[in-house]
Chain A
Amino acid sequence: MSDILLEATAQGEQLRLAGAGAWTAENAHNLEALIDSEIRRGGTISQVVIDMGRVDRLDTFGAWLLERLTRSFTARGCDTKVTGLKEDYRALIDEVHGVKREHKAEHHGSTLASTIASVGENIVSVGHSFGAMVNMLGALVVVLARIVSHPRRFRFTSMVHQLDNVGWRAVPIILLITFLIGCIIAQQGIFHFRKFGADIYVVDMVGILVLRELGVLIVAIMVAGRSGSAYTAELGSMKMREEIDALRTMGFDPIEVLILPRIVALVIGVPILTFLGSMAALYGGGLVCWLYGGIDPDIFLARLKEAITLDHFKVGLIKAPFMALIVGVVACVEGLAVKGSAESLGLQTTASVVESIFLVIVLDGLFAIFFASIGM
């Protein structure tokens, strides 16, 4: 539209603005530019008269722009008058005028300050989620104590169902991944050890690495990505659909009904998966040693027997239930933290996987220190 919307004439210190045409949503884009350029007009102005006589239509957008014009000139200390406004629009203008002045957006500060602020906020939120985890652990212990005194309250069916999901159905993928990891470690070991003529020590490396660290770590990470995320998404969508509230109002404790069976299933399932995974990795390592490194299976087994002790095996399996507990608790805490929106469900699921993998690795480090100091 090429209609003239705003004309300005300056006479000394007086500025006369004459509005015209339709101050409506269709013209708001052009009008806004005109009005902003008037607001930025330099020079000394002490009086502003805005003549709205020729404005034949006005909607909320137009009213806002007029309000912006008067507010900014008033703020500059000018005497601002609006004349010729049609009576029909008086109520609209008054309504807009009554709206609170905009709050200055707070994050327009310097980038350094806002970076520091966001670091602080993140640290506080890490503290909160740590608190939530401790809270959840406490609630689990209380529920567990209640169940020990009334064993019939335990949701056995639900636990078996979850165990099927997180344990039995995870077996193929866990076997495949750990088998491949075993193969890769053995191949790399042979390739590099051969330069020193130390091929046979690959068996030691594969055995110790897989049983102590890799088996349990790979399984825990896989479970965090596969089952932890599923827990978070399930609980999160139940939270969104008010199902958890509904359970509460019917007199059920969501921790007892939903969370305990899930975590128990993980604590039972992960050690079994760790055992299977470790065996698959050793199998893969042995296979590569034989086909690629020329180490006979008999020699491999004999060497393995010498290289590893029961301790190595125990170290891996002892860690497994704790890893499972961490993954389960993090997944459930994040699931219950979901708010009403679909976006928050996605965010919490991501947070659940990232946090649980991180904590699993941290826990693994702590266990390494612990086992080293007790000489295992």
Chain B
Amino acid sequence: MAQEKAKGNGGKDVVIEVRDVVVGFGNHIVLDRVGLDVYRGEILGFVGGSGAGKSVLMRAIIGLLPKRAGAIKIFGTDMAAASDLERQAIERRWGILFQQGALFSSLTVMENLQFPVREYLDLSQNLLERSSVPTWRRRAISNGRRSSGAGASCSSRARCFPRSP
């Protein structure tokens, strides 16, 4: 997909662009005209009291919460105006780590790691197994459904990455 890349003030690519976003539940406005630019290669952390709207902003950016006003652009594409195909292309590119991991509990750890790749690319099972997890870590990942808390968070992090190393 051809991408027009917005240039930020430093001439760097803007990866996530949030403009005047308003999000609220009922009468309660959580985010009131929030703006945010994340440049390529930048690492940002959010700090704030509980209930300040950190998760709400995140969930609005990834499209899980509807926004009342404003625009959100990811890789230069306006998510609200994007067609299904464009949106899917973006959703394939990003990796999102949820607060509780959000691993699919009905799948094994290995299947969880393979899930995004298996769904989007027509790869053979053998190649999937070789590529999704480095062999030296293979032993660490048992075929069990349950993994420890740390294991779960580790695997959900791993699920975010295989698509764009």
Interface residues of A, Cβ cutoff 8 Å to B? 234, 237-238, 241-243, 245-246, 248-252
Contacts and interface: CB of A to CB of B under 8 A. Distances in A.
A290 B103 CA distance: 57
A241 B91 contact: no
A344 to B, nearest CB: 16
A36 B21 CA distance: 49
A238 B64 CA distance: 15
A6 to B, nearest CB: 37
Q: Is chain A's interface secondary structure helix, strand, loop, or mixed overall?
A: helix
A249 B116 contact: no
A234 B99 CA distance: 20
Contacts of A237: 105
Contact of B100 (A242, A250, A251): A242
Contact of A241 (B64, B92, B94, B102): B102
Interface string B61-104: 01110000000000000000000000110111010101111111
A256 to B, nearest CB: 11
Contact of A245 (B64, B116, B119): B64
Given A237-B105, A241-B105, A246 B98 contact: yes
Most chain B beta-carbon contacts within 10 A, residue among A238, A243, A248, A251: A251
Given A238-B105, A243-B104, A245-B64, A250 B98 contact: no
B99 A242 contact: yes
B160 to A, nearest CB: 10
A106 B92 CA distance: 49
Contact of A249 (B63, B103, B105, B119): B63
Contacts of A234: 106
B116 A250 contact: yes
A250 B112 CA distance: 12
Contacts of B87: 251
A198 to B, nearest CB: 55
B119 A252 contact: yes
B60 to A, nearest CB: 12
Given A250-B116, A252-B119, A243 B91 contact: no
Given A242-B99, A249-B96, A250-B91, 19 more contacts: A234-B106, A238-B104, A241-B100, A242-B100, A242-B101, A243-B102, A243-B103, A245-B64, A245-B98, A245-B102, A246-B96, A246-B98, A248-B64, A249-B63, A249-B91, A249-B94, A250-B115, A251-B91, A252-B119
Given A237-B105, A241-B105, A251 B98 contact: no
A250 B91 CA distance: 5
Contacts of B98: 242, 245-246
A68 B103 CA distance: 49
Contacts of A246: 96, 98, 102, 104
7 contacts: A242-B99, A242-B102, A245-B98, A246-B96, A246-B98, A249-B63, A252-B119
Contacts of A249: 62-64, 91, 94, 96
Contacts of B99: 242
Contacts of A242: 98-102
Please provide the 8 A-B residue pairs with the shortest distance between their CB atoms, ordered closest to farther: A251-B91, A246-B102, A242-B102, A251-B88, A242-B98, A249-B96, A249-B62, A243-B102
A245 B97 CA distance: 11
Contacts of B101: 241-242
B109 to A, nearest CB: 14
A246 B102 CA distance: 6
A248 B105 contact: no
Contacts of B90: 251
A243 B63 contact: no
B161 to A, nearest CB: 13
Interface in B98-135: 98-106, 115-116, 119
A135 B53 CA distance: 29
A242 B104 CA distance: 9
Nearest to B163: A250
A247 to B, nearest CB: 8
